[in-house]
Each structure stands twice: as structure tokens, then as C-alpha cells.
Structure 1
Amino acid sequence: MLPPTWALSGSTRLDLQEFSTAFSRAWSQTESRFLKLECWQAYREAQACESQEVYEHGDIETACELLRREAEADRPLYEDVDKRHLDYARIRLVQEPLNPYLRYELLSYGIRAEMGENIEVVRCDPALRLPSDEYFDVLLFDRRTALIHDYGTGEVGRQSGGWLTHEPHVLARLEEMILALREGAVPLQQYLRQARTEQS
């Protein structure tokens, strides 16, 4: 599912390398807030991800060790968030029952939350198609820049690049979408406690 036409209006198409470069530039210019919306219920990295492969083979303990190692690579980012006093939030849309990918991802999120990442979870109707014209993956840097992911059209998101936009009307609509979802979100640890209670 590709993002809707309105979101790409006036945008610049980027390949993976250009997307990474644009992220670094936008991050360095962020002054107060960074919001990340994740909608796909399964992703696959462009390059092999060892922790995911190990998890899929049933070795949860080793997968957790690898996830901790992978998360360490982002420690400078978390430290930068603290130093710059940014409102940083990953808003994750989740459909239940959880598929194997989401169970793996929640392990990763637990580790990252311990390192200081703010992760907020929105429980969505399982009948809702995700992503959709209404909800799709995007990074919003203040009200200045947005990066919209291109994860293809399959059942599993595989990033091939994305789009960069500075269009004010697009940024305003993206902000409205994300903030509306954030109002119904709960912190990761609260979601995990609720899920455990409901399963017992």
C-alpha cells in the first residue's frame, strides 16, 4: 500500500541512501519534536537482520542478546534526545492477536524503552487495513520536514526509499493525523501489562 496522493503532493522521491541522508539533515535541524508513526504489522529489513532471523528460528534468548546489541547503536540518538530536550515519540499501531513479527518487535521495544525511548501503542481494530490512505508510516520533524516511507505494496513492508516533503498543508495534515492517534495511545509498558493481564 503506497501513501495517499495528498501526502506526496510536492514531495521529492528518495532512494534508501537519500532517505538516510535526508533523515540526518532533518534530525540535526529539529528543535522541539520528532514523531514517528509505524503502521505496518510486519517489516523486513532491506539487509538481513540477524536478531529477526534468530527469533524466527525460535532462539528467543539469543535474539534478545542481538536486539540489545542492535539497540546500542542508537544510544547516541537517545542521548541526543535528552540533551536537546526533544519531544520524541514512536507511535505504534498494533492489531491483535499479535502476529510473530509484532511479538519480535515488542521484545525490541522493551529493550529500547529501558534505554529511554518513548514508545506509545495504539490498539487498532483487526479488521482495519494497515497501512491505509488514513494511516501510513511517516517521520515528522517539528512542523518543518516530513519523511514518508515507501514500504512497497506487499503484505510485509520492505523499504525501498520514500519521499521528502516541506509542504505546509501536507505537514499540517500529517501532524493532525499523528496527534489524533497519539491521544488514544498508551505507553509501551502499560500496553504490555494490559496484554499480559488479558492473556492470563
Structure 2
Amino acid sequence: MLSPQAVGPGRRLGLDDYIEDFGRYFWRSGSEGFWKLERQQTFREPGVESWEAFRTGRWDDSLALIEGQRAHYEEYFRKISECGFVLHRVRCVEEPISPYLQWELHLLHLKSQCGEDTRVLVNDEFLRHEAQGRLPEVVILGSSVMYEVLYDDAGELAGGIRFDAPQGIIRCRRAIQEMHRSGEPLDAFFRHHVASLSPPAVTEG
């Protein structure tokens, strides 16, 4: 199992400290890039307009709000490219796809069109990595810092555990890169498994 905590001690950060720390290092990701492993199937994203529309049953409005972010993400990924790095994401997807994840995959599809490099692992493809425990949520920023991202019981962002040991960062990055190589490009997965789905039943509170 990929576990940042297995590579050495980390420092727990509350939500505000995590956000500040993340922002300090994000734009310095450099040639090693940004790597993210996303395992949970449901999150809460209060304050995100398209998520708020989704959770209240306004699916068409939610999709329109996502599309309305296209110019923002085009500019965002242009700036990232100018800073010399790429965002790579591994998104684990359990089938049948959860309502939240159906929404998120629409957002990730837009991001992929604007420059994010996302691949999908489905069911057995990621479960084989969980023989000794559930995969964590992990973000790695270049060679400088790695976080295990923490969420509360409701699925809201609660902070993170920061790790700085270079060998631990290298080890976890290689594990995520291996998963990424074996995954299906998001655009193809979205076309085959998501685009034709009916609007999801609202189960988010």
C-alpha cells in the first residue's frame, strides 16, 4: 500500500495552515511536477457554485457553471505551463459511479481539456494496491513537499500531514506514477463511461 506515513514522521497542519503551506509551494513544483492521488468517492465542496447546484438537484445548472469556468482554467493552466510544470492526477473510480464523482468527472474533464493530465483507475485496477489498507489522498509538489490530505467525516477538507523527507517523496511519487501509467486517459474514460449517464440522484447533504 502507498502510505506517506510509512516513509517517516510528518507534521499535521490544520486547514488554514495547510492551505497557506500548499500555496507557498505549489508554484515551485518545477520539472518534477504536481502529482495527486484521489481515492475517496464522495467529498463536500461548500462554496463551489457548481457543486452547490449539483447537491440541490440542479444538474443542468451545475454543468453550465462548470463550462462557465473554462476561461478561468485555460488561464490557470497557461500560467502553470509558463512556470514549467504539469498537473498529473490519478482518479480512482468505483463502479457504479457515485453521484458526487459523476459531478467531479465533468469538472475534471474540463480541466483535462485545459491542460491537466488525468488518468483513471477503476475497481480492481486500484484495489490491488489496497491489500493492506485503503489508499490515502496524496499530493506531491515537485521534490520539496508531500501531503497526505485529510478530510472530516462529512468529506470536507480538514487539513493535511506534511512530509519533507526526499526519499519518501521519491518513493511515493514513483508509486503514483506507476498507477498513472496503468490508468486510462480521462478523456476516453469520460466518453465511454460518463458522458451518456443520466443526471445523478441527489444524495449529497
With the shorter chain as reference, the TM-score category is: 0.7 to 0.9
Number of aligned positions between the proteins: 193
Deviations 1:89-123 (A, max 9, x none): 12111111101111111111122222222221111
What is the SS of the residue equivalent to 1:17?
A: helix
Write the deviation string for residues 35-86 of structure 1: whole angstroms up to 9, x where unpaired: 11111001112x3433223213332221122223456555543122221331
Q: Does 1:59 align with 2:58?
A: yes
Cα distance in 1 between the residues matched to 2:77 and 2:133: 31
TM-score by length of 1: 0.81
Distance 1:4 1:31 in 2: 21
Equivalence for 1:166: 164
Match for 1:187 among 153, 164, 185?
185
How well do the aligned residues superpose, as a CA RMSD in angstroms?
3.0
User: 68-77 or 97-106: which moved more?
Assistant: 68-77
Give the Å deviation of 1:11: 1.3
**What's the secondary structure of 1:89's corresponding residue?**
strand
CA distance in 1, matches of 2:191, 2:76: 27
After TM superposition, the score normalised by the length of structure 2 is 0.80
Check conservation: 1:95, 1:125, Cα contact below 8 A: no
Q: Secondary structure at 1:161's aligned position in 2?
A: strand
The answer to whether the Cα contact below 8 Å between 1:40 and 1:130 also exists between their aligned partners in 2 is: no
Query: Paired residue for 1:142?
Result: 142
Which stretch has the larger CA shift, 48-57 or 185-194? 48-57
AA at the equivalent of 1:140: I
Partner of 1:111: 110
- SS of 1:111's equivalent in the other structure is helix
Could you tell me how far apart the structure 2 residues matched to 1:75 and 1:187 are? 19
Aligned partner of 1:96 in structure 2 is 95
- 8 Å CA contact 2:73–2:114 kept in 1: the answer is no
Q: Which runs of 5+ in 1 are unaligned?
A: none
* Matched position secondary structure for 2:156: coil
Secondary structure of residue in 1 paired with 2:136: coil
Q: Residues 4, 170 of structure 1: CA spacing in aligned structure 2 closer, same or farther, 3 A cutoff?
A: closer
Structure 2: runs of 5 or more not aligned = 198-205
1:184: how far off? 1.1
> In the TM superposition, what is the alpha-carbon distance from 1:197 to its structure 2 partner?
9.9
